Amino acid sequence: MIPRDRAVLGLRVIWVIVLLLHVALAVVALRFLPQGFPIFHRRFVLSTLAPLCVGAASLALAFALVFASRAATRFVTVIPALWGAGALGLLLAFPTTGAEAARPMALVALQLAALAGVTCRKCAFREWLPAAVLGAASGFGVACAERPAPPTTQPSQLQPPRRNPDPGTTIARHLELARDLVIDSSSLAVTWRGNDAAISIAPTLDFDRTPPDGFWSIFTDSVGAAPRVASMTSMAPDSLTLWTADGTQRLFVQQKTSSVELEAWTRLAQLTYSHLNSFTTVTVSGHRRLALRFSPCPLALISVTHADYPTGAPARFAYVDATRHFHVVQAADAEKGPFTSLAEGRLAVDAPLGIDLVELGEGARTLARLEFLDFAAQLSTALSPTAGHSVSENAIAFGLAAPDPSSPAQILLTLAGSGVGRGWDSVGHRAGVYRNRVLLHPFERPPPAPPETPIDNPAPAPRSPATSQP
């Protein structure tokens, strides 16, 4: 039989350890959750206010248990109630994917509830109930605040092209529209090849993971799209139309004298949440040192650099805020803020976004110009839940595949995503049809056609029997 004083002391020590672990957890949350949100924004509550309150309250209760244990005992019920209500809140807010996070939280809540039951066995019901109610309200509120904000992307109001009911036949993976222009029918990507550089453009809306209820993407196995194999095509001498097998995406490509025109349509049958997605992905290779010039700030030439992940060399990206100001910024650490401004301008809702691909060095020259005609009209300007520091959900991320300046570069346009910053929060795209018109103006000549192989001493052509003489 353990003496009563020793048992009480043991419980007090256990609770002090538990509370100090909560202090450490709060410090970690403050360090790794995104910061820089307005004081009345829900992300400020989740990322800053909640960890501060948990850490301060846990530290205060730990001191109280050491120096005024009898009075402080009644407050320990706040901890299991916080965990238990948080688990319940996740189950209710995210009925499909919330269980993955709620189960371990519920297990912690049960263990702490058993410990609190032993600790408060001498306390009257009315003594520990207020603390339990406070913990339950806080835990449930924080869990419900994880719900993503309503999506603010703007689908096109135009009627999309209609698919011919004829299912067609599966076509070849690579289609050559011209000597310098190839289309990959499985990814709906278009590649233009010049003398030095090659530019590949994938203009269809593509999602990485799509949690159906909007919870963190790490708690879902739902992928954004199945492999896309075009099943229908119509081809003219200078144009090509492709459809995906399910008819949700369509790509039209036309080559003109000095440009290549792309028009992609993607239909979303329902609101779609994701952490990472792409409105357009551009890959550039063959350059030596690449820089970008954005049409909203034409005097600034921004070098494309390599960024590390999750920490290290800073990333560069651009975004449009709610006042339609266009910002090109550099992160402080990898893709995380705070962010340093590199250039600014304005991008109106109906304005095209132009991006020049510039080869740096002696005699800097423009390799090509890209124009995105529908990006500005359809993007979301809501605050990103992961970036903070006034950064919006839309983004134009650009970087090199490796530290070598001649390594392939990628430009990724996103209407609404949370790839910048800290966390795996999901943001939404409204249901509807999204149009993406891209113009590519290459300023390089295509590579010369391979010379025809000469044939020595060709055999005489056989004469037609109808014209032969006896």
pLDDT digits (tens, 9 = 90+) for 36-85: 999 989 999 999 999 999 999 999 999 999 888 777 888 999 999 999 99
| pLDDT, tens only, 377-408 | 999 999 999 999 999 999 999 999 999 999 99
Distance from the first to the final alpha carbon of the chain: 127
C-alpha to C-alpha distance for 246 and 429, rounded to whole angstroms: 20
Alpha-carbon distance of 115 to 121, in angstroms, equals: 10
pLDDT digit string, tens, across residues 102-139: 999 999 999 999 999 998 888 888 889 999 999 999 99
> Distance (Å, rounded) from C-alpha 111 to C-alpha 104?
11
Confidence category of residue 451, pLDDT binned at 50, 70, 90: low
| DSSP β-bridge partners for residue 435 | 265
Q: Which residue has the tokens 């006896």?
A: 470
DSSP state letters, 274-308: ESSEESEEEEEES-SSEEEEETTSTT--EEP-B--
For the segment 198-255, what is each residue's pLDDT rounded down to a tens digit? 999 999 999 998 999 999 999 988 765 554 566 667 667 788 888 887 778 889 999 9
Q: Find out whether the peptide bond into 161 is cis, omega within 30 degrees of 0.
A: no
Mean pLDDT of all residues in 138-157: 94
Q: Which two tokens stand for residue 82?
A: 């916080």
Name beta bridge partners: 341. 329
* Sign of the four-CA dihedral 182, 185, 187, 188: positive
Please, which pLDDT band fits residue 190 given cuts at 50, 70 and 90?
very high
Helix 99-119 crosses helix 4-32 at what angle (to 10 degrees)? 150
Instruction: Determine the pLDDT at residue 418.
Output: 95
Distances in whole angstroms, Cα of residue 246 to Cα of each of 18, 155, 203, 228: 54, 20, 17, 9
Decide if pLDDT at 460 tops 50.
no
Rounded Cα distance between 258 and 3, Å, is 91
Phi and psi angles of residue 295, each rounded to the nearest 5 degrees, phi first: -60, -35
- Triad 288, 290, 291: Cα angle to 5°: 155
Bridge partner list, 302 = 292
At residue 178, the pLDDT reads: 85
Q: What is the mean pLDDT of the chain?
A: 89
Domain layout of the chain by residue ranges? 4-145, 174-442
Q: Using CA atoms, how far apart are residues 447 and 444, in angstroms rounded to an integer? A: 9
Q: In this predicted structure, what is the pLDDT of residue 162?
A: 75
N residues, the chain: 470
CA dihedral 331, 335, 338, 344 (to 10 degrees): 50
- What per-residue confidence (pLDDT) applies to 122? 82
Domain 174-442 coded CATH 3.30.70:
no
Scanning the structure block, which residue is given the tokens 């020595």?
A: 456
In this model, does residue 194 exceed pLDDT 80? yes
Task: Identify which of 195-199, 360-364, 393-397 has the greatest average pLDDT.
Answer: 393-397
Question: Could you tell me the maximum CA-CA distance found in the chain, to the nearest angstrom?
Answer: 129
Phi, psi dihedral angles at 56 (to 5 degrees)? -65, -45
C-alpha atoms less than 13 angstroms from C-alpha of 70 in its C-beta half-sphere: 1
Q: In which band, very low, low, confident or very high, does the pLDDT at 347 lie, cut at 50, 70 and 90?
A: very high
* Paired strand residues for 440: 260, 370
pTM for this entry: 0.87
Question: Residue with structure tokens 């100090």?
Answer: 20
